Amino acid sequence: MGLTIREIRDNCIKARHLMQRSRQQKFAVGAFNIDNQETLIAVCRAAHEKQSPVLVEVSHGEVEAMGLDNIRDLVDNYRAEYGIEMYINLDHSPTVEDAKRGIDAGFEFIHIDISHGNHEATDEEIIKGTQEIVEYAQFTGALVKSEPHYFGGGSKLSMEKIDYEEVKKTFSTPEGALDFVTVTGIDTFAAAIGNLHGHYPVPKVLDLELLQRIRDKIRCNISLHGGSGTPLHYFEEAAKIGVSKININTDMRIVFRETLEKVLKDNPDEYAVVKLMPEVYQAVQKVVEEKIDAFGSAGRAVL
């Protein structure tokens, strides 16, 4: 059905309050990518079980498959059904136009990522596009997130080892973060401290000392992308330092596919897909609950 502008603005105010609580109470909110309705159900069940606030997020591919308005309606319907605190993040919007459509659809969190759509984008292009979305979002109050350069990796299971010497070249710096936040006016800075999109053969290593220096330098929220495949103790420490949002995607996709393959193999004569899904729900829900516990957001929902 869609939301009224008053409802959208009220939701955005609540989302801002959530980010404030996360900073004050030293917990991070999980932003869990959904590929389909089944993944959304798993996230909702985990949020209900843990009484945790959650973000569900979609990138360009999921938006093309499901539709912005359909995603908005699904989230609103399940939020009411499960009685949970849940918001939507439009992740990695590659263009200004895509980000504006997310704002118009009533998404509470918007990630404008000019460099994702164009790896060769100049600093000036990234800043200009980000500034335009910050200004546009004032109409609804949506929180805008961005970063000053391309963030590497991909949301998939990778067989390649992480070349940390190359990754370090893309690390955020406290001074660079401050300059970007100041010139753009964003609500949330996407920090690069060793986090990387995707799941790799070796665990990721986060530079928490660098994170602390960035936290000391900027006043806005901090988000970590590429949370999959990261030892949980890093999340616990990052939340204490002052990270407000952590993105999880690939860990959920891996367990979804592996569990579905197992269920299909165990039930070769079953063609009613709905009967095959409960075990898949449970497996994805378990991953989400594990992250919620590490983020410290269990019991933090405000309804």
Q: Alpha helix (H) ranges present in 67-173?
A: 68-82, 96-104, 114-117, 123-136, 164-168
**How many whole angstroms separate alpha carbon 178 and alpha carbon 181?**
5
Question: Would you say 15 and 232 are in contact if contact means Cβ atoms under 8 Å apart?
Answer: no
DSSP 139: G
Please, which residues have CB within 8 angstroms of residue 226's CB and are 6 or more apart in sequence?
151, 153, 195, 196, 197, 198, 204, 247
Q: Is 91 a catalytic residue?
A: yes
Backbone torsion region of residue 300, taken as left when φ is above 0, otherwise alpha when ψ lies between -120 and 50, otherwise beta: alpha
Contacts of 158 (CB under 8 A, 6+ apart): 198, 199, 200, 201
- Give yes or no for a contact between 133 and 110, defined as CB atoms under 8 angstroms apart: yes
Considering the candidates 76, 91, 98, 187, report the single residue annotated as catalytic: 91
CA distance 201 to 157: 9
User: What is the distance in angstroms between the CA of the first residue and the CA of the last residue of the chain?
Assistant: 22
Identify the CA nearest to 59 among candidates 154, 152, 128: 154
Sign of CA dihedral 19, 46, 36, 7: negative
Residue 153, SS3? strand
Rg (CA), the chain: 18
The residues annotated with a catalytic role in the active site are 91
